[in-house]
């Protein structure tokens, strides 16, 4: 009889603790649910904040990096002497391979009409070093810029490039608006 009583008491305490644990789990979920989003998050580079430091090429968990150069054609001046395509001092240079800025020759130059050239990024060759972006932003319209390509990105819980980005240009964005591609403006539009 005595034994049964202690058994009951133990059971009562256990039930009580279980109920309070359940309650705290519920509280946590409700508190988190108040600011939950049903959308998912992905990482993306704000091209207007990016300083092209080159860490995207070295610090991504993917090899080569999930960061690639993308080209906002609407912004491009279609220059012959492209600051993103050729090394500095472009007018002294030929289009020979040693004069190309891209270390992996990932930029393809296509003649459109006099004097316009269109530049295409070969995604499978691009390593996201941002050298062309730096060239294009310093000498041109800034139509080339870095973006995280989501067919490659594995969407780490914390992006390893975002952690080392010196300008904090990498942010979580909603998966439904996963890219921050530049439009036909070179400065960030005033929101």
Interactions with another protein, residue window 2-61 (CB under 8 A): 14, 17-18, 21-22, 25, 28-29, 31-33, 35-42, 51, 53-55, 61
C-beta of 26: minimal distance to another protein in Å?
Answer: 9
Binds another protein (CB under 8 A): choice among 141, 146, 161, 170: 141
Question: Is position 133 an interface residue for another protein (rule: CB under 8 A)?
Answer: no
* DSSP-derived secondary structure letter, 90: G
Tell me which residue of 94, 90, 97, 96 sits closest to 135, measured CA to CA.
Answer: 90
Q: Which is nearer to another protein, 95 or 103 (CB)?
A: 95
Tokens of residue 109, six digits: 């130059």
| Structure-token pair, residue 123 | 């995604």
Of 103 and 181, nearer to another protein (C-beta) is: 181
Q: 104 or 122, CB closer to another protein?
A: 122
Structure-derived torsion over alpha carbons of residues 37, 40, 43, 44, reported in degrees to the nearest 10: -80
Query: Counting contacts by CB under 8 A, is residue 187 touching another protein?
Result: yes
Cα separation, 79 vs 73, whole angstroms: 12
């Amino acid at each position: 009889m005595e034994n049964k009583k202690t058994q009951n008491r133990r059971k009562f305490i256990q039930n009580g603790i279980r109920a309070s644990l359940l309650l705290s789990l519920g509280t946590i979920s409700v508190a988190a649910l108040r600011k939950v989003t049903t959308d998912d998050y992905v990482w993306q580079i704000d091209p207007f904040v990016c300083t092209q430091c080159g860490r995207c090429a070295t610090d991504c968990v993917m090899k080569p990096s999930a960061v690639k150069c993308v080209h906002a054609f609407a912004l491009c001046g279609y220059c012959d002497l492209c600051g993103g395509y050729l090394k500095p001092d472009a007018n002294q240079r030929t289009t020979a391979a040693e004069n190309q800025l891209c270390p992996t020759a990932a930029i393809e130059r296509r003649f459109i009409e006099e004097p316009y050239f269109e530049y295409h990024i070969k995604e499978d060759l691009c390593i996201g070093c941002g050298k062309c972006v730096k060239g294009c932003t310093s000498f041109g319209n800034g139509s080339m810029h870095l973006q995280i390509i989501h067919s490659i990105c594995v969407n780490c819980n914390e992006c390893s490039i975002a952690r080392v980005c010196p300008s904090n240009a990498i942010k979580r964005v909603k998966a439904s608006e996963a890219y921050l591609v530049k439009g036909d403006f070179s400065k960030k539009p005033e929101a």
